[in-house]
Structure 1
Amino acid sequence: MADNNQDDLMVIASWLYYQERLTHEEIAERLQMSRVSITRLLQRARAEGIVQFTITKPLPEQYKLENRIKEKFGIKSVTISKTMADPIDTIREVCRSAAFSLNKLLFPGCRLGLAFSSTLSYIVDFLDSTSAPKNIIIQELAGTYLSPNAPYGISWRIAEKLNAHINSLPVPVVVQSEEMRNGLLNEPSIREAMQGIPLVDLAMVGLGRIGHDSTLVKTGHFTPEIMKSLKEKGAVGDILLHFYDQDGNYVSNPIENRMIILKWDEVVRIPNVIGVATGQNKVEAIKGALRTGTIHHLVTDMDTALGVVQD
């Protein structure tokens, strides 16, 4: 084989590699050449068109859409799940994907930031405790919302599933007065819990929308009148009870001084934030959230994603 010209050697090496499935080492032995030489021959064969590949099926629409959103908003990743006939089934599929995304980003000793979200309440069903990294710390990012149907918060349920320690904020997310808020924040246990917020490595958040029937109104934290005033200011959604407009600019709300929650600049500094949202009524909220620069990973469904990518 030493006498063969380079073109013949490229063809022979390519045939042995792609058709006969030989390894680089096996080809090198057969042709009495070095492994490095075989690697270079195969690289040249592809570069010069001697070896060509044909994919007979187009890229899945889901993959193309994920890339379009990622490039449009400059975020790290987008995961799109199927849109189901039943909205609850769609939420569950999105949360299944969100659990998978979360699992990929968790690492031993990770401090995971969480707060109440009606969407994220479904994620617990899809978390795998057997594959969870060790020594995870769940950091609550806001006071707790509890109801008769949810006797303990989503943070506690996820901590239980991941065998994680929890740094909790056992106080209401909205209190009656600024004086009460300041008093609670001065409590040693609450102050200590809040000190863990700047240490968060990763957060998973729901993306809320503005409306009289939004979760914030249903929970009683915000009145329809407050939501109306926020809408008049241009607000389209919220991340952890912090509001923003369609361009991603911060919008102040009238009860900020009564909320026990991380500050907006603390949200901005979290290095990895997974935003989870689904539904046509959340398209504008998702777009605005992606423009804030605080969301690095988006998990949604196909129909919602189609709305997000449109101008």
Structure 2
Amino acid sequence: MVVSLRLQTAGGLSEFLENNFSKGDISNLYLFFDFDRTLTNGYEFSDNEARAPIDKRIRGGAKTLQALQSVFQRGARMSVITARSPKSAVIDQLKASLQKAQSELWPLFPAEEPTVVEDFHEVKLARGGSLYASGYQKEAALAHGIIRHASELKSTGPIRVVFFDDVVSNCHSISTNLHTYFKDAKEKQILDRLELTVCWWDPFLEETEVDGNRKPSMIAVHSEDTDFSYHDYLSEALKVFGVTEEERKKIEGVYKAEEKKYGRKAASTLVEKPPEAKPMTDIENKFSNLGALFGKKPPPRG
């Protein structure tokens, strides 16, 4: 079963966790997070700035932290999956961030195990405990984490997994491609137990001046950058998360207007786009197969 949700506002993650996991047994719950702009606000801090206000260092600030601490203390497990290169040095970078700028989160993501770089179903992954670096193959890292988690569970019941990311294409790819990394009979048995929720934590309301927001809490992604979620070729992916074409165009217009107002330049003019950035035809093909992935209809929008 796959459910796709769009979270909004800085309180989106904390509200989701409180509404869904504040009661009951959550020992079979595994939460996976993108790092940059999902657990963080996207700002970089020097060692001297590591004690900046928490809402500058952790997206959603104290409410996010409290919600994560609550589910962790009650038995939920957590991992980070970053799209940075699958290298040991990247895991070291994540550890450094969690030990300094995001130090409040460090106890929630155990990383005592030595870092390993390994191939998982022909995909290179770097892993240090609960921290993964997978490049743009996040589905592989997620599958790897689920399989490891399932082997440690005493229960043979449902495995509840939630994935959070600020980029809609990453979320859509998880929804459509995750099943392909469960290969053998044992892994497919795990897949049959999986209850997956994919949460796109949309930063639109946090990084623009919409609705009188004069002090956005995040730096806006440029409308020409690869990680921009409102490209026209992402229309079908956006529909899965409840965004109509009319709304997509309106939001894209807000970004472009602010870029013109403030003279913002696209990062993609300076940084090469990842090779995984694909035209809509590929994404549409993935979307059209969604119902076949788990033998069910596509997930409800919203």
Q: Which structure has the bigger radius of gyration?
A: 1
| TM-score of the aligned structures, taking structure 2 as reference length | 0.35
**Higher RCO (C-alpha 8 Å, min separation 6):** 2
| TM-score of the aligned structures, taking structure 1 as reference length | 0.34
